[in-house]
Structure 1
Amino acid sequence: MIQEVIQFTNRHAILSITWITLLLSVIILTFKNLLSKTKNITNIQAIQLINKSDAITIDIRPNDDFYKGHIINAINLTSLEIKKNNLKKIENYKQKFIIVVSANGLESSKPADKLVQYGFKHVFILKEGIKGWYNENLPLICNKK
């Protein structure tokens, strides 16, 4: 068995390296997720947190995108504002549940981690962002500037 694996590896070096790289990436991301103080949540979990625990939704998309459609009562706070610790809009919510929302859920990780660093206790990331929210036909509010 081991000889077969070695032969396969020798014959298909690029494929083997790619497979090992992907495996290591999955392992690293899994451990990073387990050790992270933030947690990805689904739309249903977000709705439950908003309705039952008065969670605060922070939309990190640019202002123009926010005004085109956002979750009810969301606060627009860009990633740059969070990075610069410009948190006047939310400084009183450190003990509340915070849900960070981006366009597709991929950009929320760093801002969410920053909020934890700044003392926010319960920070969550909306898994698929506003795109997933919209795709499930959940309500969005449109504002004029």
Structure 2
Amino acid sequence: MQQLIEFVGNHYWLAGAWVVLFFAILFGFISANMSPIKEIGTHDATLLINKNDAVVVDIRPAAEFKKGHILDAKQLKAEQVKNADFGTLEKYRDKPIIVVCAMGMTAKRTAGQMLKAGFSQVKVLKGGMNTWLGANLPVSK
């Protein structure tokens, strides 16, 4: 304990950085667990698609969507996502929805918009299409 106090006294900037890093990691874990938007892996996504008839919503640009997308995925154009226009998905309001982007980062924002719009079972594919392709899962062109 004496060595820790001496270290902090001699290297207060480094000790402060460790404290900030600890709380940032702690905040990340807590916010991820408390968030209504859950990230799911490829295994859970395939289970949702096959057993619960989940709808895959792809928010990537049209050119990327045409290169390859998850089977039966519905594409939302960038302007629809920007304006939170989910009218084309109204019939899927009560079904599980998996939002997919290229790397899993922008899909969280869209999933949040969908939750606010009244879609009850929205999830995000962790890692996006890169993870799906990395797992050698089927795509449609």
Q: CA deviation at 1:79?
A: 5.4
Distance 2:71 2:140 in 1: 6
User: Structure 2 CA distance, aligned partners of 1:30 and 1:74?
Assistant: 30
Match of 2:104, as an amino acid? G
Please name the residue that 2:65 is paired with: 66
How far is the alpha carbon of 1:12 from its aligned partner? 2.2
C-alpha separation in 1, matches of 2:62 and 2:12: 48
2:106 is matched by which residue type in structure 1?
E
Distance 1:83 1:117, change over 3 A: farther
Q: 2:51 matched to 1:33? A: no
* Cα-Cα RMSD: 1.5
The 5 Å alignment of 1:123-138 reads 123-138=122-137
Moved more, 42-51 or 85-94: 85-94
Q: Equivalents in 2 of 1:24, 1:80: separation in Å?
A: 37
Instruction: Please show how residues 1-145 of structure 1 align to structure 2 within 5 Å.
Output: 1=1, 3-78=2-77, 80-142=79-141
Pair 1:79–1:124, CA change in 2 (3 A): farther
SS at match of 2:122: strand
Give yes or no for contact 1:82–1:115 (8 Å, CA) kept in 2.
no
DSSP-derived class of the 1:106 partner: coil
Q: Residue by residue, what CA displacement relative to the aligned partner does 1:104-137 show, whole Å, maximum 9, x if unpaired?
A: 1122211111111111101111111100110111
* Aligned counterparts of 2:4 and 2:60: Cα–Cα separation in 1: 48
AA aligned opposite 1:60: I
Classify 1:130/1:10 alpha carbon distance in 2 versus 1 (closer, same or farther; 3 Å). Answer: same
* Secondary structure at 1:34 match in 2: helix
CA pair 18-38 structure 1, distance change in 2 beyond 3 A:
same
Matched residues in 1 for 2:77 and 2:32: separation?
23
Q: Where in structure 2 are there 5+ consecutive unaligned residues?
A: none
User: What's the TM-score once normalised by structure 2's chain length?
Assistant: 0.92
TM-score norm. by structure 1 comes to: 0.89
Structure 1 moving runs of 4+ over 3 Å: none
* Deviation, structure 1 residue 78: 4.1
Provide the C-alpha distance between the structure 1 equivalents of 2:83 and 2:10, rounded to a whole number of angstroms.
51
C-alpha distance in structure 1 between counterparts of 2:3 and 2:85, whole Å:
58
